[in-house]
């Protein structure tokens, strides 16, 4: 195979390399004759034979799989799933690493991203989340792809090809009970399997299947200046809507975010990217009848569910809008052609107040972004809780908050996605005064 200009390697080449680091995204890092390799299925400290699977943009790096391990890490284990490995299912990055080793690697990524992008040295450990069996049997929402023959399975890494697995080892028992991979599917491109915390599991064909609501119950406790706080609430969530996929994640993140905020009666709280209202519901109880919660969410279906659920509270205002639009922030809209498009300048929502006492952000993987973070800081809240599913996005937004006169008071990381490279963080910021 011809080698791309500027690269000494081509797809299919095999080279022996030393894996020296672990990168954000779940890859080991190695070099061969100056060429950077991102190697899946490897552990730092190992010597492996890496098979090149893809040439990166501009041949600046290559992707590869570790197909032979010559010197193994003490953290290497036999993957519990026979479908995890080179050329197989792309869902799990770290089944070849002990659970403790996985958490150490993830903590290293959080520290590296915070140092590189926010200029902060943080001491963080990745904490387990209650509700999985040694890193398995936890995922309560799984989307299975369906191939041309009607077989359901999971996709190969960076591919549309379907691997017809027997069952997913990280799927919750309720998902397994649906036997999605044992059935023949005619018509759908995918099947979403959901095992809610209340009620029976459901399977939804995509596209075309009826999408029911499911009930997710959250029970959490945390400490406050006034003593222990208990919260229990049922949320109606679309079977295809957003909800944390680890059974213990919602309660864990809720407690981790609200405990350091120590929300007080009569305060005004802002819940950004609120979904169906997990944080808004708890904030509503804490601020009480003399306080106010303003919750912002772009998904109108989620807002409708939150409005029904929180209507009786009397102190929650829901804003159905993108967060940047709710703040009245200009943004560029992409044009259909090669042009840059036009700049959208929405009016700030009259429901978004100029000041807030506390703010909770739970943005998507891309983060809140500098403009939203600056708008939050301009409200001068006494405390900000940021729930992040991507440590790089958190680090970038942390840098913006630091520049706006805030400091990082605490940072916790949680293993809400065992066997994968993903890690969830909850950061707490206060004014630097």
pTM of the model: 0.95
pLDDT of residue 2: 47
Tell me: pLDDT of 38 over 50. Answer: yes
Predicted local confidence at residue 294, as pLDDT? 98
Q: Is 89 designated active site?
A: no
Residue 341 has a pLDDT of 74
Asked whether 165 and 159 are in contact (CB, 8 A), the reply is no
Q: What is the pLDDT of residue 336?
A: 63
Residue among 290, 306, 303 at smallest CA distance from 233: 306
DSSP helix, strand, coil percent of the chain (3-state; round to 5): 20, 35, 45
- Amino acid 337: pLDDT: 59
For the cut 60, the answer to whether the pLDDT of residue 397 exceeds it is: yes
Domain 214-333+340-431 homologous superfamily, CATH: Vaccinia Virus protein VP39 (3.40.50.150)
Can 1-76 and 214-333+340-431 be said to share one CATH topology?
Answer: no
pLDDT, average across residues 420-429? 98
Percent of the chain with pLDDT over 90: 92
Domain borders along the chain are 1-76, 141-211, 214-333+340-431
**Tokens representing residue 25 in the block:** 């995204």
Residue 279 to residue 414: CA distance in whole angstroms: 18
**For range 98-124, the mean pLDDT:** 98
Residue 135 has phi, psi (to 5 degrees) of: 90, 0
Helix (H) or strand (E) holding 305: helix 300-310
Please name every residue paired with 294 in a beta bridge, in sequence order, or none if there are none.
270, 317
Give the pLDDT of residue 58: 75
Do residues 194 and 141 touch, judged by C-beta distance below 8 A? yes
Look at residue 116 and give its three-state secondary structure.
helix
Q: Biggest alpha carbon distance in the chain?
A: 70
Say if residue 297's pLDDT is above 50.
Answer: yes
C-alpha dist (Å) from residue 121 to 20, 49, 113, 117, 260: 21, 34, 10, 11, 20
First vs last C-alpha separation in the chain: 61
**Residue 97: which of 61, 45, 62 has the closest Cα?**
45
Rounded Cα gap, residues 419 and 176, in angstroms: 18
Q: Residue 326: what pLDDT?
A: 98
Rounded Cα–Cα distance for residues 25 and 422 (Å): 8
| pLDDT at residue 332 in the model | 84
Residue of 92, 168, 389, 425 marked active site: 389
How many residues in total does the chain contain? 433
Q: Which residues pair with 143 in a beta bridge?
A: 192
* Per-residue pLDDT reduced to its tens digit, 324-376: 999 999 998 876 655 567 898 899 999 999 999 999 999 999 999 999 999 99
Determine the topology of domain 1-76 in CATH.
OB fold (Dihydrolipoamide Acetyltransferase, E2P) (2.40.50)
DSSP secondary structure letter of residue 171: B
Closest among 369, 406, 403 to 388, alpha carbons compared? 369
Bridge partners (DSSP) listed for residue 329? none
Query: What is residue 397's three-state secondary structure?
Result: helix
Angle subtended at Cα 385 by Cα 399 and Cα 422, rounded to the nearest 5 degrees: 75
pLDDT tens-digit map of 240-296: 999 999 999 999 999 999 999 999 999 999 999 999 999 999 999 999 999 999 999
Structure tokens at 134: 């040694």
| pLDDT at res. 416 | 98
pLDDT of residue 338: 54
């Amino acid at each position: 195979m011809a080698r791309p200009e500027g690269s000494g390697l081509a797809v299919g080449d095999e080279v022996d390399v030393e894996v020296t680091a672990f990168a954000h995204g779940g890859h080991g890092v190695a070099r061969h004759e100056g060429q950077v390799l991102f190697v899946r299925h490897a552990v730092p400290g190992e010597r492996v034979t890496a098979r090149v699977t893809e040439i990166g943009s501009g041949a600046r790096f290559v992707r590869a799989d570790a197909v032979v391990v010559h010197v193994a890490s003490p953290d290497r284990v036999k993957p519990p799933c026979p479908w995890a490995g080179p050329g197989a299912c792309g869902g799990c990055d770290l089944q070849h690493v002990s659970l403790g080793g996985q958490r150490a690697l993830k903590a290293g990524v959080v520290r590296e991203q915070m140092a590189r992008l926010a200029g902060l040295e943080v001491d963080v450990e990745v904490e387990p989340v209650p509700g999985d069996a040694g890193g398995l049997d936890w995922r309560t929402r799984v989307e299975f792809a369906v191939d041309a023959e009607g077989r359901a399975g999971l996709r190969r890494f960076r591919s549309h090809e379907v691997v017809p697995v027997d069952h997913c080892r990280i799927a919750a028992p309720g998902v397994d009970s649906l036997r999605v991979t044992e059935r023949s599917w005619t018509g759908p491109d995918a099947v979403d399997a959901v095992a809610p915390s209340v009620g029976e599991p459901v399977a939804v064909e995509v596209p075309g299947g009826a999408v029911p609501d499911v009930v997710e119950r959250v029970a959490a406790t945390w400490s406050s200046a006034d003593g222990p706080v208990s919260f229990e609430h049922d949320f109606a969530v679309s079977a295809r809507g957003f909800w944390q996929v680890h059974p213990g994640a919602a309660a864990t993140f809720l407690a981790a975010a609200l405990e350091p905020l120590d929300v007080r009666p009569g305060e005004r709280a802002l819940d950004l990217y609120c979904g169906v209202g997990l944080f808004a519901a708890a904030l509503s109880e804490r601020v009480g009848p003399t306080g106010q919660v303003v919750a912002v969410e772009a998904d109108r279906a989620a807002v409708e569910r939150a409005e029904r659920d929180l209507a009786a509270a009397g102190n929650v205002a829901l804003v159905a809008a993108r967060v940047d639009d709710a703040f009245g922030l200009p943004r560029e809209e992409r044009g259909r052609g090669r042009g840059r498009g036009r700049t959208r300048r929405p009016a700030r929502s009259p429901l978004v107040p100029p000041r807030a006492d506390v703010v909770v952000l739970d943005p998507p993987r891309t983060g809140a972004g500098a403009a939203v973070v600056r708008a939050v800081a301009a409200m001068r809240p006494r405390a900000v809780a940021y729930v992040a599913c991507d440590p790089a996005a958190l680090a970038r937004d942390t840098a913006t908050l630091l520049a706006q006169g805030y400091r990082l008071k605490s940072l916790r990381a949680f293993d809400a996605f065992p066997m994968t490279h993903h890690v969830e963080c909850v950061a707490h910021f206060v004014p630097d005064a």
